[in-house]
Structure 1
Amino acid sequence: MKIHPSELYFYHNAAQPIDKQTRAYAHSIARFINEIDVVSHKITATQWNQILILLGLRAKDLLNRAHPDYQRLIAGKNWDHESWLNILVKYPYLIKSPIALFRRKAILCRTPSDILKLN
């Protein structure tokens, strides 16, 4: 995945209010923002893996464990790394917070102002 140094990549769920607020903050740190709605734009397992490497997190760390679909389909089972990547591909709406990548740094934005840490 090539990342342009002056462009902020913003992976989000457009239907979530916190994601909309975080997007507003993103405009204060980058002139060019590449918005990727993870629900409508398919992200591949390879792309998810690269994002996870930049974040320094596991796929499980990105998911909303309180969501009913997580409890019904995912919780309580043993998954290997590739299976977790496939879960991200198949159920991207389970991601709990937007993800921002800027200048080879990445952050999971648990609050809208978290994105300012990339500046």
Structure 2
Amino acid sequence: MSTTLNSKELTLVYDGSTSEGKKALAYAYSLAPRVNKQDVNEVSLSSTFVRQVVKQLNLRPKDLLNRAHPYYQAHVRGRDLDMEGWLHVVVRNPQLWKAPVALLGDRAVLCEPASLIYTLAEAQRKAQ
């Protein structure tokens, strides 16, 4: 199941206030004519959407988190949470995401560094 409505539309979940977020957005526009921008400072992500993103990335929710972030260190570090608990942390604290996430069709990539977004285009070309 794809998180995007259109297989030709690239969805980018990013923090527009960070340099990595801005780079990923610029790369996204160089890859796809249509970019569905999901700036975590402007939109609320649903737990269903985040669950699907995690599934497409083949990661655990806590793998999306920047463990060096001061909020993580003060409020999350050392907590033993189940899958739903980690999803809750990820949804409620999008500023903790360690990198932008790009989705295209049924593929997703954690853009760490931002230039990894180009692997989506390569995968898309190989699939066609």
TM-score by length of 2: 0.89
1:56 aligned partner: 58
Query: Could you list the runs of 5+ residues in structure 1 that have no partner in the other structure?
Result: none
RMSD: 1.0
2:125 aligned partner: none
Map 1:12-91 onto structure 2 (within 5 A).
12-91=14-93
- Looking at structure 1, the residues matched to 18 and 7 of structure 2 have their Cα atoms a distance apart, in angstroms, of 27
Deviation at 1:94, TM superposition (A): 0.4
CA contact (8 A) 1:3 1:104 kept: no
- Looking at structure 2, the residues matched to 35 and 2 of structure 1 have their Cα atoms a distance apart, in angstroms, of 11
* Deviation string, structure 1 residues 67-112 (Cα, Å, up to 9, x no partner): 1100111110100100111101111100010000002100000012
- Looking at structure 2, the residues matched to 31 and 2 of structure 1 have their Cα atoms a distance apart, in angstroms, of 14
- Looking at structure 2, the residues matched to 6 and 72 of structure 1 have their Cα atoms a distance apart, in angstroms, of 41
Map 1:102-117 onto structure 2 (within 5 A).
102-117=104-119
CA contact (8 A) 2:66 2:98 kept: yes
- Looking at structure 2, the residues matched to 10 and 92 of structure 1 have their Cα atoms a distance apart, in angstroms, of 13
- Looking at structure 2, the residues matched to 41 and 25 of structure 1 have their Cα atoms a distance apart, in angstroms, of 21
Q: Any runs of at least 4 consecutive aligned residues in structure 1 with deviations exceeding 2 A, and if so which? A: none
TM-score by length of 1: 0.95
| Percent sequence identity over aligned pairs | 38
Task: Name the amino acid aligned to 2:120.
Answer: L
CA contact (8 A) 2:15 2:100 kept: yes
Deviation at 1:2, TM superposition (A): 4.7
Of Structure 1 and Structure 2, the greater helix share is in 2
Q: How many residues align?
A: 119
Task: Name the amino acid aligned to 1:58.
Answer: R
**Are 2:103 and 1:101 aligned?**
yes
Query: Could you list the runs of 5+ residues in structure 2 that have no partner in the other structure?
Result: 122-128
CA contact (8 A) 2:9 2:104 kept: yes
